[in-house]
Amino acid sequence: MSIIAVVDYGVGNLHSVCKALAKSGVEAIVTDSPQIIAEADGVILPGVGAFDYAVQQLRSHHLEATIHQAVQSGKPFLGICVGLQILFDGSEEGTEAGLGIIPGMVRRFRPEPGLTIPHMGWNTLEITQPQIPLWQHLDFQPWLYFVHSYYVDPVDPQVIAATVTHGTQKVTAAIAQNNLMAVQFHPEKSSSQGLQLLANFVNFVNQSSTKELAVKS
């Protein structure tokens, strides 16, 4: 059985994520151990709250290099909500430097008449990279649950895997680059579509682990 490390740095919705993963029959280990994260077959970086606090917590747990190494290793990696945002260079929300894994910034929604900030609730996803593993067996425009006032703005638009429209603003809702995938919405709160997405990630981890064993043998 594949093992997925759910990174515990004090800001993630860990219980909900692990409960959703359990429905896919995978062993999820909540951990802040660099060794366990390095040995896991896949990694999930959740996160809620403010950008600066999340980055500070990650660094206080001495996990910055561990996250970089996990992404560079080629193993499946999934960021969720603030776990997506801190992969970028920085945020308009604060002053801390992000991890800089994906070039770009985190932006605040522009005020406009009738626009509610934060963007909270269910919204449809427009998928721009249909071939990535996360989207298998999802609806054409799946409904997913969002809670955010900021969105990621990558330098390279090719990494955008999905967008969402709030008011008149179409913004990045997910990114994908090789083994790295990350989403702004909360799959663990997104009913059947979110559970399917997490099951897709588990399947991706299992397939990647099988391929790695085949190469080693």
pLDDT in tens, 126-148: 999 999 999 999 999 999 999 99
Quick check: 215 pLDDT over 70? no
Mean pLDDT value across residues 32-58: 96
Work out the pLDDT band at 12, boundaries 50, 70, 90.
confident
What is the reported pLDDT for 210? Answer: 67
Q: Which residue has the higher pLDDT, 212 or 149?
A: 149
What is the reported pLDDT for 100? Answer: 98
Give the closest residue to 42 by CA, choosing from 206, 214, 217, 211. Answer: 206
Residue labelled with tokens 């992404």 = 71
Active-site annotation holds for 18: no
Quick check: 203 pLDDT over 80? yes
- Tokens found for residue 124: 């449809």
Please tell me which residue in 81, 119, 148, 166 is annotated as part of the active site: 81
**Domain boundaries defined on the chain:** 3-216
What is the reported pLDDT for 121? Answer: 97
What is the reported pLDDT for 22? Answer: 83
Please tell me which residue in 119, 148, 166, 186 is annotated as part of the active site: 186
Prediction pTM value: 0.95
Please tell me which residue in 93, 148, 166, 188 is annotated as part of the active site: 188
Active-site annotation holds for 27: no
Across all residues in the chain, what is the average pLDDT? 94
- Tell me the fold of 3-216: Rossmann fold (3.40.50)
List, in sequence order, every beta strand (DSSP E) within 97-212.
104-108, 119-124, 126-127, 143-148, 150-154, 160-166, 169-177, 180-183
Quick check: 105 pLDDT over 80? yes
**What tens digit of pLDDT does each residue of 168-188 get?**
999 999 999 999 999 999 999
Active-site annotation holds for 188: yes
What is the reported pLDDT for 84? Answer: 98
Distances (CA, A) of 155 to 34, 163, 175: 29, 15, 12
**How many other C-beta atoms can be found within 10 angstroms of the C-beta atom of residue 103?**
11
Q: Which residue has the higher pLDDT, 41 or 21?
A: 41
Q: Which residues contact 39 (CB under 8 A, 6 or more apart)?
A: 3
